[in-house]
Amino acid sequence: MSTLTFQGAVKEVTGSRYLIETDGDGGPKKLLLECGLHQGGSDADEANARPFGRLAGELDAVVISHGHLDHSGLLPKLVREGYRGPIHCTRGTRDLLEIMLQDAAFIMAKDVEWENKWRKRNNKPLVEPLYELGDVARTLALCESHPYGQPVNLPGGATLVFRDAGHILGSAIVELAVPSGGRSKRLVFSGDLGNPSSVLMRDPGKVYEADVVLMESTYGDRDHRPLDETLEEFAEVLEQAHKAGGNVLIPAFAVGRTQEILYHLSVLYHEGRLRQQMVFLDSPMAIKVTELYHRARKALDADDLKVLNVAASGDTRQYLPILRMTRTVEESMAINRIHGGAIVIAGAGMCNGGRIIHHFRYNLARPSTRVVIVGFQADGTLGRSLVDGAEQVKVLGEMLPVKAKVHTLGGFSAHAGQTELIGWAGAFRHSPRFYLVHGEPGAQQALQAALAEAGIAAEIPGYGDSVPL
């Protein structure tokens, strides 16, 4: 009997990892579904540093649903510790991994450099990064990309098919047909399901047949506000910031959310409703991803591209002339000399690092500043503290008063809300077993109850739990 073991993103949102051990005719095989980075506080750092042990050398294949680091960010660490097999993903995911993993390795190197300077001064043992650029290069060389809908043979007689999840470029629902007890069992992993209301992405695909379903539950406790209402609130916040004479800071994930925000700013600009004269995309990674989205625009929603009128050229200057892309540290630092009238989009999305931190340092204490939160903020992150109304926060080792007005706009979410999750789950025939992953406990329990009302039984697994397939 083949088994599934939950090794991450259980009763939490990040750190996705699931081990599948098969018992097919070719002998037992081990497949890893996802290899994600934990994001949050010190507990996340400890979880990321934990060695894979023998698993790195025993795995026969790895499958990745999409390029967000909480699903893929530990791949180079797995390779560093000895994995040499294939990494299966879509083409869009492969292209994103090149950008995101290199960026992650670069940031780790800088963080470790600063940490070790302190350790040397205090006679502490030095530390090493989780991985380096060489590990990223070896990881990318192992990637094998596949289009949606194409069956892929895996070791041990398993078969893989990717379906469009509508979340970010290349995001996939994962279908695995796994030999188990002399039969073929179908495991479906939702990955991160997209929000049908969000722009640029196509709607998530429906799947109808499964024996076991792993379903994300990030927003299992709520529906998102309608997009048109969210856009009106966004426009009002921007207008208030203009009248107050302050800057607008938008911490945004480099992949997906940044491109969606730029889209909406473009629409407001061409409607004559954007009063600010400067929009800065202050993230080298987000700039690269935005350029990738333009190159891969055939994979995006054609109707949304018509609104921007960039289907032919993909030239950002065409749809948002006031956009400035700041690639260098010097260009980023220069933004902080602007005391008002600017919109600054910068990473990291959960405010747990990146250039947004430096902009907080110069702007959070100003009542005229507006901070617009447009993505999920995990427990333990600086972004979550701001959402929860903290009156002061620690930024770059300094306690800062939060005088800026903080606005949370959930309607921009690239995740399905509760109603969409229930609708997706309800498409399955023959009552498969459901397991809720990628959600904080409150959200999972709310979704579990809502699913039960719809006649769908779902379990909430714990870390290390194993179930038969």
pTM listed for this prediction: 0.90
Lowest mean pLDDT among 316-325, 363-372, 407-416: 316-325
CB atoms within 10 A of CB 183: 11
Q: Is the pLDDT of residue 404 over 70?
A: yes
Query: What does residue 244 show for φ and ψ, rounded to 5 degrees?
Result: -80, -15
CB atoms within 10 A of CB 84: 11
| pLDDT tens, residue by residue, 71-99 | 999 999 999 999 999 999 999 999 999 99
Structure token pair of residue 136: 């990223």
The stretch 158-187 carries a mean pLDDT of: 96
pLDDT at residue 334, as a whole number? 96
Q: Could you tell me if 143 and 179 are in contact, meaning their C-beta atoms sit under 8 angstroms apart?
A: no
Confidence class of residue 314 from pLDDT cuts 50, 70 and 90? Answer: very low
Confidence class of residue 311 from pLDDT cuts 50, 70 and 90? Answer: very low
CA–CA separation, 415 and 453 (whole Å): 22
| Fold designation for 3-222+414-468 | Metallo-beta-lactamase; Chain A (3.60.15)
Please provide the distance, in angstroms rounded to a whole number, between the alpha carbons at the two ends of the chain: 7
pLDDT at residue 325, as a whole number? 95
Q: Is the pLDDT of residue 111 over 90?
A: no
Geometric angle at alpha carbon 163, from 158 and 169, rounded to 5° = 125
Map out the domains of the chain as residue ranges.
Answer: 3-222+414-468, 227-412
pLDDT at residue 40, as a whole number? 75
Q: Is the pLDDT of residue 373 over 70?
A: yes
pLDDT at residue 315, as a whole number? 53
Q: Could you tell me if 395 and 429 are in contact, meaning their C-beta atoms sit under 8 angstroms apart?
A: no
pLDDT at residue 207, as a whole number? 97
| pLDDT tens, residue by residue, 288-302 | 999 999 889 888 888
CA–CA separation, 221 and 70 (whole Å): 21
Confidence class of residue 204 from pLDDT cuts 50, 70 and 90? Answer: very high
DSSP 253-306: -TTTHHHHHHHHHHHHHHTT----SEEEEE-HHHHHHHHHHHHTGGGS-HHHHH
Shortest CA distance to 212 belongs to which of 190, 193, 186, 192? 186
Q: Could you tell me if 22 and 178 are in contact, meaning their C-beta atoms sit under 8 angstroms apart?
A: yes
Q: Which amino acid is at 433?
A: R
| Helix, strand, coil distribution of the chain in percent, nearest 5 | 35, 20, 40
Query: What does residue 113 show for φ and ψ, rounded to 5 degrees?
Result: -60, -45
Q: Is the pLDDT of residue 316 over 70?
A: no
Lowest mean pLDDT among 37-41, 136-140, 221-225: 37-41
Quote the mean pLDDT of the chain.
Answer: 93
Confidence class of residue 318 from pLDDT cuts 50, 70 and 90? Answer: low
CA–CA separation, 312 and 305 (whole Å): 9
Q: Is the pLDDT of residue 422 over 80?
A: yes
pLDDT at residue 309, as a whole number? 58
| pLDDT tens, residue by residue, 149-162 | 999 999 999 999 99
Confidence class of residue 42 from pLDDT cuts 50, 70 and 90? Answer: confident
Say whether 454 sits in a helix, a strand or coil: coil
Q: Is the pLDDT of residue 273 over 70?
A: yes
CB atoms within 10 A of CB 200: 22
227-412 placed in CATH 3.40.50.10890? yes
Altogether, the residues listed in the chain come to a count of 469
DSSP 70-100: HHHTTHHHHHHTT--S-EEEEHHHHHHHHHH
Q: Is the pLDDT of residue 114 over 60?
A: yes
Q: Strands of 278-282's sheet, edge to edge?
A: 323-325, 278-282, 342-346, 248-251, 370-373, 405-408
Q: Could you tell me if 424 and 453 are in contact, meaning their C-beta atoms sit under 8 angstroms apart?
A: no
Structure token pair of residue 304: 């949304």
Query: What does residue 169 show for φ and ψ, rounded to 5 degrees?
Result: -55, 125
Q: Is the pLDDT of residue 312 over 60?
A: no
Q: Which amino acid is at 343?
A: I
